[in-house]
Amino acid sequence: MWATLGAVVASALWAGGVFVLGTDDTEADLRGYESTTDLCSSIDYSSFKKVYGEASLEPGVTSLKHEALDQASCDLGLRSTRVPSWDFSYARADLSVQMDLHKRTDPGPEFTAVWSKYHQDNDSYKVKKITGLGDEAYLVTDDYLYDGGAGAGKVIIAVRDGWMTYRMNWDSSAYSANTVLPELDDVAKWLKTDAKATLENLRSD
């Protein structure tokens, strides 16, 4: 009788949206983060505006809502305001962001495996565990030169806070040896600052 009553109550709570259960009736630890269909509207990229200004291209927005996973992503095209549009002496950049709310399984072990070993197949990646963001966070940097002096840079911040995972990455390509790329240490600071602000925006009061 009590088992039946418990099942009825649990079903009612589920239907009412009171909580989200993971596997084995474990409540998903979403830390107050909420799903969104327009992640771009919540992204804070103030640090990058000092160099790039407002996004120069129409944002790319995608979202997925499922009983096991809510996912949202945003891609922003950045262009330095310091030079005219026809001048390629300062590289363009892409800023992409993705948030996943895992509602059925704890993403912790997989998150650690992926990001702590992100450099495993590419020696140019440098991985560093960082503090101050969520329960676990990693910084990935990649800086290399092509033939002729042109090059590219990549910086990624990956964060896990409970069962929420978040990734914010900056990619920029140099068109020639004269192209100016920001220092990756500076980009890493910008990402840390803006990731922290964005995560606050995504969390409900």
Looking up residue 84, the CATH number of its domain turns out to be 3.40.1000
> Using the 8-state DSSP alphabet, how is residue 164 labeled?
E
Report strand pairing: 60-65 vs 136-145. unpaired
In a domain, 179, yes or no: yes
Give the domain extent around 50. Answer: 29-202
Q: Note the pLDDT of residue 46.
A: 94
Q: Note the pLDDT of residue 13.
A: 38
In a domain, 9, yes or no: no
pLDDT 10s per residue in the chain (205 long)?
434 444 443 444 334 443 455 555 689 999 999 999 999 999 999 999 888 877 766 678 899 999 999 999 999 988 765 555 555 555 678 999 999 999 999 999 999 999 999 999 888 899 999 999 999 999 999 976 544 445 678 999 999 999 999 999 999 876 655 666 788 899 999 999 999 999 999 997 5
Q: Note the pLDDT of residue 17.
A: 42
In a domain, 19, yes or no: no
Total tally of structural domains belonging to the chain: 1
In a domain, 62, yes or no: yes
d(CA 95, CA 116): 22
Q: Note the pLDDT of residue 92.
A: 77
In a domain, 149, yes or no: yes
Q: Note the pLDDT of residue 53.
A: 76
Q: Which of 47, 94, 71 is nearest to 195 (CA)?
A: 47
d(CA 40, CA 201): 11
Contacts of 43 (CB under 8 A, 6+ apart): 74, 76, 97, 194, 198, 201
Q: Note the pLDDT of residue 82.
A: 57
Q: Which of 75, 92, 73, 80 is nearest to 54 (CA)?
A: 80
In a domain, 160, yes or no: yes
In a domain, 11, yes or no: no
In a domain, 7, yes or no: no
